[in-house]
């Protein structure tokens, strides 16, 4: 057995070990130093987002954060994209969504059919990598559903998708499932 195969077998065995799953620790990322938008509370963290748009036609990327309001009232929601580990907010997006509706936040504006952005960072995040914090208002808005995705394209029109990945969304202060 090769060294990479041995390490892969060890990771699989550790993941299957019941005691490893029972003793997960909360995510080590601290909520941003700036704090959430006024009237909102940070509820979730997306530990890694990435948004790049080089000047020449090359590989480009964008991060999407989708929020669904499953509550019975209109809710204020927000996303703060940060740069690297320095906890500097590079873009703050907020909106109020009606019950039973979805809102899509984007690190830069792209169009259908790639993704229907409802709100996008302006100026666009053209070279940004770091966490994003998702915030909502008080109960019952603290139960908003959140999903995040990273998409890489290969042309300036963002019409040729090279890859797409679901991003981790963790509830702040809760144990993580470990992807």
**Please, which pLDDT band fits residue 103 given cuts at 50, 70 and 90?**
very high
Q: Which pLDDT score, from 0 to 100, does residue 84 have?
A: 81
Find the range with the poorest average confidence among 28-37, 71-80, 86-95.
Answer: 28-37
Residue 147 lies in a domain: yes
Find the range with the poorest average confidence among 6-10, 61-65, 137-141.
Answer: 6-10
Residue partners of 169: CB distance under 8 A and separation at least 6: 44, 45, 46, 134, 146, 147, 148
Question: Across all residues in the chain, what is the average pLDDT?
Answer: 80
Residue 177 lies in a domain: no
Find the range with the poorest average confidence among 8-17, 90-99, 108-117.
Answer: 8-17
Residue 38 lies in a domain: yes
Q: Is the pLDDT of residue 63 over 70?
A: yes
Q: Which pLDDT score, from 0 to 100, does residue 96 have?
A: 96
**Please, which pLDDT band fits residue 174 given cuts at 50, 70 and 90?**
confident
Q: Is the pLDDT of residue 34 over 70?
A: no
Residue 53 lies in a domain: yes
Q: Is the pLDDT of residue 55 over 70?
A: no
- Residues of the chain with pLDDT > 90: what percent? 47
- Please tell me the total count of domains within the chain: 1
Residue 133 lies in a domain: yes
Residue 138 lies in a domain: yes
Domain limits for position 104: 27-171
């Amino acid at each position: 057995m090769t060294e990479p195969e041995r390490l892969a077998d060890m990771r699989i065995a550790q993941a299957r070990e019941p005691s490893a799953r029972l003793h997960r620790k909360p995510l080590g990322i601290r909520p941003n130093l700036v704090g959430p938008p006024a009237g909102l509370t940070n509820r979730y963290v997306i530990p890694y987002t990435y948004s790049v748009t080089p000047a020449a036609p090359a590989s480009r990327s964008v991060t999407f954060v989708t929020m669904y309001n499953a509550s019975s009232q209109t809710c204020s929601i927000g996303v703060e994209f940060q740069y690297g580990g320095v906890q500097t907010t590079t873009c703050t997006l907020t909106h109020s969504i009606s019950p039973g509706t979805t809102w899509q936040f984007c690190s830069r504006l792209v169009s259908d059919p790639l993704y229907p952005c409802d709100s996008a960072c302006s100026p666009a995040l053209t070279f940004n990598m770091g966490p994003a914090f998702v915030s909502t208002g008080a109960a019952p808005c603290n139960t908003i559903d959140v999903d995040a995705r990273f998409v890489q394209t290969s042309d300036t029109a963002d019409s040729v998708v090279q890859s797409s990945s679901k991003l981790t969304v963790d509830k702040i202060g809760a144990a993580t499932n470990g992807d």
